[in-house]
Amino acid sequence: MLKYLGSKRRLVPALAAAATATGARTAADLFTGTTRVAQAFKKTGMRVVAGDSASYSQVLAECFIATDSEAIDASLLAEEIARLNQLPGAAGYVTEVFCQKSQFFQPQNGEKIDAIRDVIEDYRGTWIFPLLLTSLLQAADRVDSTTGLQMAYLKEWAPRSYRPLDLRIPDLLPGPGASLPGDVTRTVATIGPIDLAYLDPPYNQHRYESNYHIWETLVRWDAPEHYGRACKRVDLRESSGRSPFNHKKTFAPALGQLIEGLQADVVMLSYNDESWVSAQDLTRMLRDNGLREVQAIGFESTRYIGSRIGIHNPQGQKVGSVRRTKNIEWLFIAGDRNSVRAATAATESFGGQVLEIAK
Ligand SMILES: C[S@@+](CC[C@H](N)C(=O)[O-])C[C@H]1O[C@@H](n2cnc3c(N)ncnc32)[C@H](O)[C@@H]1O
C-alpha cells in the first residue's frame, strides 16, 4: 500500500470494526486517499463508494473499490502486467524531470516508468487502465527515494531505490463498489441515502496533489511545467481549485456544509488534536446537523517521521528537536444512540479511549 501522509493505516482495524458494529450495509469514504479505509469496509461486505479530489486517488478507487475482482479477466491482467515488466526502458519526462533534474528515482527505473506509462495510455477508458496504472504507482512507490512525501527527495539515494521496478498484480477485492471523482463539496449531492459516511479531511494547508505531484503526473500523463528542486507542478501552485479543507478559515464552514449535505444515518469523522477545529466545535457541528448522539474517541499516535528525526540545518546537522512526538487521533461517531454505543465499544479493543468533551 502506498506511503501517504495522514493515511489511516494503524486505525483501519478500529474503523472497520466500528463501522461493522453499526450494522451498515452501505458506506461512503469521502476523502479516500489511498482507499485503505474504503477497502476495509468493502472487505466486510459493505457496498462502498470512495471519493477524493486527487486524480491518483480516483485511479486507486476505480481499481480497489469500483472493480469487482470476480468480474474481470484475471489472466489477461496477469499477462499485461508480465508484458509491461518486460518492456525495455525509454527515457522521457519522468527520466528527465524526476531522475536528472531531481533525484526521486534511479534513472534505470525512471526509463522503465516512462516506457510502461506510455503503453498504459493506450488502455485509457477501459476496465484494465486503472488496474495497470495502480500497479505502476505501487511499483514506483516501492523504489522512490523519499520519506513518503514528494515535496523533497533524500540527499543520499534510499536503499530501496536501487531495486529494479517491478509491477505486481494489485490485490483486488470481490464485490461491487463505486468511485466518486472530484471535490466532495460538489459530489456530495450525488450520493443519496447511505448507512454510513466516513470523513477524513486534510489537517493542514498542504495540498495533497502537491505533496504527491509525481503520482498526479503519472495519472494525468501531461508533462507539466515544473518549479523548484522537487520539480513540482506549476499548475498546482496556483490558488484556483484549492480545497476549502486546506484553509483554516474555510475548513469549518466547508465541513459543516458537507455534513449537512449528507444523507447518512451514521457519520464517522477523523481529526486530530493539533489542527484547526476543537473537539467541542466538531461535536457541536455533528449535533447541529441532526445527529443526536455524538461520541469522541481518542487513539494515541506517533507523529510524522520528521518529528522523530529532529530539525536539521542545510548541512545535515541536528539543530533542534520537535516538542511533541505523539498526538491524539480523534474519531467522532455520530448517529442514533444504539449505533454510536456499539461502534464505540468496538473500538476499545483497538486502543480507542472514550473522551469527555465539555459542552
Ligand atoms: C487525510 S487524507 C485521507 C487519507 C485516507 N483516509 C487514507 O487512509 O489514505 C485527506 C484526503 O482528502 C483529499 N481532499 C482534500 N480536499 C478534498 C476535497 N475538497 N474533496 C475531495 N477530497 C479532498 C486529499 O486529496 C486527501 O487524499
Residue-wise DSSP of 113-151:
HHHHHHHHHTTTTSTTHHHHHHHHHHHHHHT--SSS-TT
Q: Whose CA is nearest to atom 26 of ligand 1?
A: 33
Residue pair 145/105 in contact by the 8 Å Cβ criterion: yes
Q: What is the distance between the alpha carbons of residues 157 and 161, in angstroms, rounded to a whole number?
A: 7
Give me the DSSP letters along 149-199: -TT---SS--GGGGSPP--------SS-EEEEES-HHHHGGGT--EEEEEE
Residues 183 and 37 in one domain: yes
Residue pair 233/97 in contact by the 8 Å Cβ criterion: no
Give me the count of residues in the chain: 359
Residues 304 and 316 in one domain: yes
Residues 107 and 213 in one domain: yes
Residues 183 and 309 in one domain: yes
- In 263-342 the beta strands, taken as DSSP E runs, fall at 264-272, 293-302, 311-312, 318-320, 326-335
Question: Would you say residue 272 lies in a domain?
Answer: yes
Residues 233 and 292 in one domain: no
Question: Would you say residue 286 lies in a domain?
Answer: yes
Provide the CATH number for the domain around residue 257. 3.40.50.150
Question: Would you say residue 24 lies in a domain?
Answer: yes
Q: Mean pLDDT of successive 10-residue segments in the chain (359 residues)?
A: 87 97 98 97 98 97 98 98 98 98 98 98 98 98 95 96 98 98 96 97 89 97 97 86 90 96 96 90 90 91 59 59 76 96 96 88
- pLDDT for res 264: 96
Question: Would you say residue 64 lies in a domain?
Answer: no
Give distance in angstroms: CA of 18 to centre of ligand 1: 20
Residue pair 84/120 in contact by the 8 Å Cβ criterion: yes
Question: Would you say residue 58 lies in a domain?
Answer: no
Query: Would you tell me how many other CB atoms lie within 10 Å of the CB of residue 213?
Result: 23
Residue 245 CB–ligand 1 contact under 6 Å: yes
Residue pair 90/111 in contact by the 8 Å Cβ criterion: yes
Residues 120 and 232 in one domain: yes
- pLDDT for res 199: 98
Q: Which residues contact 353 (CB under 8 A, 6 or more apart)?
A: 297, 298, 299
Residues 115 and 200 in one domain: no
Question: Would you say residue 223 lies in a domain?
Answer: yes
Residues 153 and 195 in one domain: no
Residues 15 and 45 in one domain: yes
Q: What are phi and psi of 181, to 5 degrees?
A: -70, 145
Residues 188 and 225 in one domain: no
Full-model pTM:
0.93
Give distance in angstroms: CA of 60 to centre of ligand 1: 13
Residue pair 302/9 in contact by the 8 Å Cβ criterion: no
Residues 193 and 340 in one domain: yes
Buried b (16+ CB within 10 A) or exposed e, 132-171: bbbbbbbbbbbbbbbbebbbebeeeebeebeeebebeebe
Residue 57 CB–ligand 1 contact under 6 Å: yes
- pLDDT for res 302: 74
Residue 7 CB–ligand 1 contact under 6 Å: yes
Question: Would you say residue 112 lies in a domain?
Answer: yes
Residues of the domain holding 114 = 73-171+208-241
Residues 186 and 310 in one domain: yes
Question: Would you say residue 312 lies in a domain?
Answer: yes
**Best mutation site among 11, 48, 53, 327 for ligand 1, i.e. most ligand atoms within 8 A of its Cβ?**
53
**Which of 241, 261, 286 is at the close of a domain?**
241
The residue type found at 355 is L
- pLDDT for res 292: 82
- pLDDT for res 129: 98
- pLDDT for res 323: 60
**Which of 185, 217, 241 is at the close of a domain?**
241
42, containing H or E segment: helix 36-43
Q: Whose CA is nearest to atom 22 of ligand 1?
A: 52
**Best mutation site among 5, 48, 52 for ligand 1, i.e. most ligand atoms within 8 A of its Cβ?**
52
Q: How many domains does the chain have?
A: 2
Pairing of strands 47-52, 177-181: parallel
Q: What is the distance between the alpha carbons of residues 206 and 242, in angstroms, rounded to a whole number?
A: 10
